[in-house]
């Protein structure tokens, strides 16, 4: 190793060791009931109150990749990168309408995954299967990008032996981080990231508050920062712009914001955090207070402008914008606080990566293994399989990071949002109405997936010939818009049209195991008091 920032590395390792210990101790935290039950390992016993849920969801949704990617997008393109701020605000308003209903019906019937709900609501095993597989597919590159976030921090720290080192020495720190993450997730389940999220969120808030005060002082104030950035984009208009005056940019910005807001809580890890809450009111309170994180996100985005003003990557045509924030911290902060900042990013990768792997494991166990491979599986069987699958998911993500170009990982993550948005109609519509026919929903899902993936495949940029972006021309409108939202619109149109046809010919529908009262049940209500805990999913 050379050029290692030793003080920063020591601080980073100390915080990493702290959360590792916390991860293993979490197996004894708030434990109740049968430890060999998926409710315990995969949902933390469904016992988390308002504050634990708030930190868990914050640790889940605001990831290390967010810490790096949002300011990197602002660094590279200007104001367009701020789409992440309004989209998170819209998301919480939107999901306030339906997440409490999902919590209630899931608690009454013992649903662990959104695909469980789809199976129970529509009585369709094929529809439930494609919802589950879509969730796993969309989650895999997301987990990989958490490891990319850790790798970016390790690169700037100087750990790994440099570019000339053999592959094993170079990636050894990432192997160690992966091994620790896999071990305490296997041991403690969802309780580990829930407990570690307290440390992660505290570090993130401290680092952001210090950064938005201290770095501008070093750079001559916000006025100087904005003047420098404005001049930068005037000289390099092809890189982006600080305004959104072009009609195409307006449409792209708006559709990307809305589509991302709709997709955010379709991700399995987001649903997992919600279903782990102990009450319906806990979910509602969290949707009301979660926008506090959007304030942090807005401040975080400003780091991209600060990196430009500080000259990060200036003159280096091959500079990776993903390194702009880690390099900014390394240049601006004292070494010891650089270690704190890097710990915030590193731990900010461990928490969501753990939750994502648990969510993917829950989907496979409940909706593939139990539903299709071993219907007679016991609760202990489910838990054992989920633990093993969570390890395999992490191994897959690690292979993905080490074996593929980072640009490919980023492009696949763009696809992840497009794919998961195609589950919106089946899940959200099902929470309010049984009108849609399950085969119409299946056809709508297929249409959205095929169209969206095909459109994304045809997008090129200077770095790649395929999957080079997330915006294409909206049919009938002519402006560029988010592909995921266009695919969703096609999905909805197909589902509505085919439902009308199937209803006209009186096609048979699957059984609905839910009742209207299930969607408003609260902890302590008769629906929950009189039900076994948990109720069998099927």
CB of 242 closer than 8 Å to CB of 308: no
Q: What is the pLDDT of residue 177?
A: 82
Angle in degrees, 0-180, between the axes of helices 191-219 and 292-309, rounded to the nearest 10: 40
Q: What is the pLDDT of residue 478?
A: 83
Local structure of 47: helix, strand or coil: coil
Q: What is the pLDDT of residue 295?
A: 86
- Residue count of the chain, please give it: 538
pLDDT over 50 (residue 185):
yes
The secondary structure of 67-99, three-state, reads HHHHHHHHHHHEHHHHHHHHHHHHHHHHHCCCH
Mean pLDDT of all residues belonging to the chain: 87
Task: Place 467 in a pLDDT band, splitting at 50, 70 and 90.
Answer: confident
- Give CA torsion, residues 105, 106, 109, 110, to 10 deg: -170
Please give the average per-residue pLDDT across 244-267, as a whole number. 84
Q: What is the CA radius of gyration of the chain?
A: 23
What percentage of the chain exceeds 70 in pLDDT?
89
What percentage of the chain exceeds 90 in pLDDT?
59
With CA atoms as reference, report the closest residue to 118 among 496, 382, 513.
Answer: 513
Please give the average per-residue pLDDT across 113-136, as a whole number. 97
Q: What is the pLDDT of residue 240?
A: 47
Task: Place 120 in a pLDDT band, splitting at 50, 70 and 90.
Answer: very high
With CA atoms as reference, report the closest residue to 251 among 93, 69, 471, 415.
Answer: 471
CB of 123 closer than 8 Å to CB of 438: yes
Domains of the chain, by residue range, sit at 6-97+123-315+331-400
| Residue range 370-421, pLDDT digits in tens | 999 999 999 999 999 999 999 999 888 888 777 666 655 566 677 889 999 9
């Amino acid at each position: 190793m050379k050029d290692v920032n030793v003080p920063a590395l020591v601080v980073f390792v100390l915080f990493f060791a702290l959360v590792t210990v916390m991860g293993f101790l979490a197996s004894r935290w708030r434990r109740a009931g049968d430890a060999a039950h998926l409710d315990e390992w995969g949902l933390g016993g469904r016992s988390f109150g308002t504050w634990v849920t708030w930190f868990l969801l914050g640790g889940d949704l605001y990831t290390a990749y967010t810490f790096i990617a949002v300011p990197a997008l602002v660094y590279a393109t200007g104001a367009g990168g701020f789409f992440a701020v309004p989209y998170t605000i819209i998301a919480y308003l939107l999901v306030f309408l339906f997440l409490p209903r999902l919590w209630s019906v899931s608690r009454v019937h013992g649903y662990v995954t959104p695909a469980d709900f789809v199976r129970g609501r529509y009585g369709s095993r094929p529809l439930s299967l494609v919802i589950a597989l879509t969730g796993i597919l969309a989650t895999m590159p997301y987990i990989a990008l958490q490891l990319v976030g850790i790798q970016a921090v390790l690169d700037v720290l100087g750990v790994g032996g440099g570019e000339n080192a053999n592959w094993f020495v170079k990636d050894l720190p990432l192997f160690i981080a992966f091994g620790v993450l896999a071990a305490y997730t296997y041991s403690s389940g969802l309780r580990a990231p829930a407990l570690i999220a307290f440390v992660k969120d505290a570090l993130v808030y401290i680092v952001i508050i210090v950064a938005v005060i201290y770095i501008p002082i070093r750079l001559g104030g916000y006025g100087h920062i904005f003047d420098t950035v404005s001049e930068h984009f005037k000289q390099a208009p092809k890189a982006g712009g600080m305004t959104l005056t072009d009609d195409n940019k307006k449409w792209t910005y708006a559709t990307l914001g809305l589509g991302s807001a709709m997709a955010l809580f379709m991700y399995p890890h987001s649903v997992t955090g919600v279903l782990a809450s102990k009450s319906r009111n806990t979910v509602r309170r969290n949707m009301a207070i979660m926008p506090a994180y959007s304030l942090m996100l807005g401040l975080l985005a400003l780091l991209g402008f600060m990196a430009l003003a500080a000259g990060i990557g200036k003159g280096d045509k091959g500079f990776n914008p993903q390194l702009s924030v880690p390099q900014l911290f390394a240049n601006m902060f004292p070494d010891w606080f650089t270690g704190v900042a890097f710990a915030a990013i590193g731990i900010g990768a461990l928490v969501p990566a753990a939750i994502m792997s648990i969510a993917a494991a829950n989907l496979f166990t409940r909706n593939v293994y139990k539903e299709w491979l071993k219907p007679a599986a016991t609760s202990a069987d489910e838990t054992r399989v989920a633990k093993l699958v969570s390890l395999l998911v992490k191994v897959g993500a690690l292979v993905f990071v080490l074996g593929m170009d980072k640009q490919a990982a980023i492009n696949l993550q763009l696809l992840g949002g497009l794919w998961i948005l195609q589950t919106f109609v089946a899940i959200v519509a099902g929470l309010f109405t049984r009108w849609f026919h399950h085969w119409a929903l299946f056809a709508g899902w297929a249409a959205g997936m095929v169209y969206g993936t095909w459109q994304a495949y045809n997008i090129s940029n200077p770095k790649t010939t395929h999957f080079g972006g997330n915006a294409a021309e909206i049919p009938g409108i002519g402006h560029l818009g988010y592909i995921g939202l266009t695919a969703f619109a096609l999905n909805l149109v197909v589902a509505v049209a085919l439902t009308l046809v199937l209803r006209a010919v009186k096609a048979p529908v699957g059984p609905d195991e839910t009742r209207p009262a299930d969607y408003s049940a609260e902890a302590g209500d008769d629906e929950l008091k009189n039900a076994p805990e948990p109720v069998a999913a099927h």
